Amino acid sequence: MQNRQLAEEVIGFLEEQRLEPLPVNYALGYLFLTGEDEEVARAVSAIVDGRVRISQSEVEAIMAAQGFGRADGGRTEAIANAVRRQALRLVDLTAETARATGEFGRDIAANLDQLDAVAEGRIALRDVAAAMIERTAIAEKQLADATAEAIQLRADLEEARLEAMADHLTGLPNRRGINAEIERLVVAKARWSAAIIDIDDFKLINDRWGHGVGDRVLKAVASTLAEACAPHFTGRWGGEEFVVLFEGLDVAAATAIVDKARETVGDRRMRLRETDQPLGRITFSAGVAEAAPPDAPVEEGDTLERADERLYAAKEAGKDRVLAA
């Protein structure tokens, strides 16, 4: 769906539902119309499919269930505000471009009348040509300016979309970004494997050293995983869990990479910045599974579910290990 069309449809959806132009409403309209969040789409459809308008309280309940307004809510709302402004500006640009084109057409018609006057000897051809050149230049500049702004707005919208799929702490793709990548792999009918990784005893780190230190550990593990598993897709699933998607690799090859990453993380010696006191060895457990072939009757979620089962088995077996399905 093109950005301008999507912007107009989101605005139309809010008007149809008689919802105020609030960030949370724009976010819900976007997620519902694009289908990027299946839970939001199902919840909204259950209400509006019966031609019942969705209420503001229902919007807020649905979005709250998806985390809108919590944790990085200020940042999320800022993104939603930016998208709203850009969407409205795209609609304005359409009107401006149409107006400029119409004025240019009227100018051409007027100058054709003047050409008749030239033929009759009433005005000089030089004056008509100069007027047409000037008006053409003005119209071209208006259209060029509108096009340049539309291109910039498209880039801004893409940046906002990518930012909405990024984890604010680690900079890795978040759960939405991970799901989008899985969807891409499924649509492409690619061979792929997935690993779910969980930092061992992370709660003890938070309890002993505080959440500030815990955040630094998360960022350190995230960067190590992303580097060790490159060029494959690494994202933060949530909390102390990460997901790595290995396109083109079977489960054995993916497991080998994750196990090497586990050794790299364990070899790092992290210390408190303030006192240089060692934090102890940081380890993780992981489960790895290969996606079923594209023609197999298996749902997308089954790959992560099987990887998650192996993760729990790794925890029960003593942690600090990688098990494959």
Answer whether residue 78 shows pLDDT above 60. no
Ramachandran angles phi, psi of 51, nearest 5°: 60, 30
Which residues form the catalytic set? 240
According to CATH, the superfamily of the domain at 175-324 is: Reverse transcriptase/Diguanylate cyclase domain (3.30.70.270)
Q: What is the pLDDT of residue 3?
A: 58
Give the range among 45-49, 72-76, 305-309 with minimum mean pLDDT: 72-76
Answer whether residue 76 shows pLDDT above 90. no
Rounded percentage of the chain residues whose pLDDT exceeds 90? 34
More confident residue, 47 or 106: 47
d(CA 69, CA 257): 37
Q: Tell me the pLDDT tens digit for each residue of 242-261.
A: 999 999 999 999 999 999 99
Q: Tell me the pLDDT tens digit for each residue of 268-279.
A: 888 887 777 888
pTM over 0.75: no
Rounded percentage of the chain residues whose pLDDT exceeds 70? 69
Cβ-in-10-Å burial (0-12, 13-18, 19+) of 219 comes to middle
User: What number is the average pLDDT over the span 98-118?
Assistant: 56
285 and 259 Cβ atoms separated by less than 8 Å: no
In our burial notation (b when 16+ CB lie closer than 10 A, e otherwise), range 185-209 reads beeeeeebbbbbbbbbbbeebbeeb
Report the residue count for the chain. 325
User: What number is the average pLDDT over the span 56-81?
Assistant: 66
Q: What is the pLDDT of residue 116?
A: 57
How far CA 285 is from CA of 34, 113, 194, 280, in Å, comes to 35, 81, 14, 16
Q: Which of 158, 160, 238 is nearest to 199 (CA)?
A: 238
